[in-house]
Structure 1
Amino acid sequence: MSTSAPSQNERLRRPATRRSLRLGETTVTYLPDGIAQLVPHRWFPDTTDEVWAARPEYLDASGNLAAGVGGLLVERDGRALLIDAGLGPLSPAVDPERPVGRLRGGALLDSLAAHGRAASDIEAVAFTHLHPDHIGWAWHPAPGDDRPAFASADYLVTEPEWHQRHLLEAHGVDERTLSALAPRVRTVTDGEEVFPGVHVMFLTGHTPGHAVYVISSGGQRLIAFGDALHSPIQVDHPEWSVTVDHDPALAADARRHLLAELRKPDTLGFGIHFADVVFGRVRPVGDGPAWRPLDD
């Protein structure tokens, strides 16, 4: 007896599973670490209950936006780069006043192992930014060890993000965490190639030094855009900034620039928090949604 593939609406309401995509000589794989529930009217403060009542396909059974936390593995010629490092083995208590409901990490190393890789295979971890759900396994000790999981890797951080790291305290990144990162940090510049076919593109606004990573191979490119966008619905509404954007106006400008890039030929996107539709294209057609997920 065969089972039918989940519909797009079902995938919008659940966090992503491990998924891979081939681009020429490069393979990219989403590695889940855990889940997050975004409280819609708090996460997007410019929206109303009426907005979400009209778009119920984006909301899970609890009435929240389903999102994943994790990392993107980039493999080429036997080498491996990780973009972002999940939340780590944490499960904060739910605070009904905060814009994030249930939040849980801890599965990234298992996801990596299921893919046939070990943490020691990762030569560098490239961060889109330094919020807690992107740096977890870079500072938290690995199970059975007193060192972080990726202790043999360089940590790639944009110059403005690292130089303004004092601003991160408001987002739960304390001095202890930054001190754990510091010995391995190497700052990178706009346009720098950090891995074969992978270039940094500064796209500030969500944080002072937020970056996206452009992965090019086989005549295609994939833009791993971190927290420049948080939900597929935001592709249709780039004016919606989120409550944790450092500079909401600049973040909105960054989203418009990003969407222009994503509309270019032979360009795909990777949205780390995009429910179970993390890989897709931006193809606006009529009044329909512009984010077109890749099929399984």
Structure 2
Amino acid sequence: MHPAPIAQRLTRPSPLRTHTFGEYRLTHLPDGLVQLNPTGWFPGLTAADAAGFADHLDAEGCLVAAIGGLLVRYRDRALLIDTGYGPRRLAADRTHPALGALGGGGLLDSLAEAGVAPGEIDTVAFTHLHDDHVGWAFLGSERGPLFSAASFVLSTAEWRGGGYGQIPAALHDRVRPAGDGQEVFPGVTLRESPGHTGGHAAYVLTGDGGDRLVVAGDVMHSPLQVAHPEWPVFFDSDADTAVRTRTAFLRDAATPGTVVYAGHFADVVFGRVRADGGGHLWDPLP
């Protein structure tokens, strides 16, 4: 089967996609999508600006942001970074002017397709605690939490900045706050990346040969930001810090041997950042 043209992939959410990285098997687990109104999401952009990237817009004139999580399998262990939005859907008129429709519900089916049960995941790590990243994490039944064997990792800053109030008290004994550079899973370290939230975290997986996979989280939401890290984002809690973080993230991501997982990037969630003159471009992986 031939891969779909990039133009098609920019306007749809990613299906389940898997890449092998040395001993690691990395799988994007789709949960749903959110539409981003470009002139609301990026304050200051006009309709004329949006016409310049029409190839990124769906039939309703919105950017398509995938929602899901990254499953990392290493030997007999499993890490899940972010857990999607959960089993709910909101029409555009029930979200926010910067958004369109928002919905999840597919993560458990994606896990099943990947051959992993929720109870087999021993670590759930969060980039931050917005609804579209924690949706399935704290759900359960009379048998207990969905991720019954997992500890929950987030940055110490996110925990102290309000995370203790967002994570159910009954699960606090499972929480493992981590600092910048701390290993949270074999070969995976947390990187403080503030701006979208005060305690936002990226994650860096370093393989045996020195190659890296960097998890962007909400440092970026669209491949357009690779070329335009200076565009402010409506939902960034500190716009100036977020721009500095994006700019530094891109410089680092352009290092040879680095793959980026950007979970909101439509159907181009895995790719490489390429230096281009004074800026950067996004080269999606197949």
Q: TM-score, normalised by structure 2?
A: 0.94
Deviations 1:199-252 (A, max 9, x none): 111011110100100011142101001000000001100011211101000000
**What letter is aligned with 1:236?**
A
Query: Out of 71, 74, 77, which is 1:76 matched to?
Result: 74
Write the mapping of 1:121-270 to structure 2, written as runs, cut at 5 A.
121-141=120-140, 145=142, 147-165=144-162, 178-179=168-169, 181-219=171-209, 220-270=211-261
- In structure 1, stretches of 5+ residues that fail to align are 169-174
- TM-superposed deviation, 1:146: 6.0
**Closer, same or farther in 2 for the Cα pair 1:79/1:176, shift >3 Å?**
closer
SS of the aligned residue for 2:59 comes to coil
- In structure 2, stretches of 5+ residues that fail to align are none
| Equivalent residues of 1:23, 1:218 under 8 A apart | no
SS of the aligned residue for 1:46 comes to coil
- TM-superposed deviation, 1:67: 1.1
- TM-superposed deviation, 1:177: 5.3
Q: CA RMSD for the aligned pairs?
A: 2.0
**Closer, same or farther in 2 for the Cα pair 1:180/1:8, shift >3 Å?**
farther
| Equivalent residues of 1:138, 1:181 under 8 A apart | no
Equivalent pairs: percent with the same residue? 46
**Closer, same or farther in 2 for the Cα pair 1:216/1:252, shift >3 Å?**
same
| Equivalent residues of 1:29, 1:73 under 8 A apart | yes
Q: What is the rounded CA distance, in whole Å, between the counterparts of 1:18 and 1:84 in structure 2? A: 15
Q: What is the rounded CA distance, in whole Å, between the counterparts of 1:180 and 1:289 in structure 2? A: 44
| Equivalent residues of 1:158, 1:188 under 8 A apart | yes
Q: What is the rounded CA distance, in whole Å, between the counterparts of 1:176 and 1:293 in structure 2? A: 34
Write the mapping of 1:42-121 to structure 2, written as runs, cut at 5 A.
42-95=40-93, 97-121=96-120
Q: How many residues were matched structurally?
A: 284
Q: What is the rounded CA distance, in whole Å, between the counterparts of 1:176 and 1:235 in structure 2? A: 31
| Equivalent residues of 1:27, 1:74 under 8 A apart | yes
- TM-superposed deviation, 1:31: 0.3
**Closer, same or farther in 2 for the Cα pair 1:284/1:9, shift >3 Å?**
farther
**What letter is aligned with 1:19?**
R
**Closer, same or farther in 2 for the Cα pair 1:259/1:180, shift >3 Å?**
farther
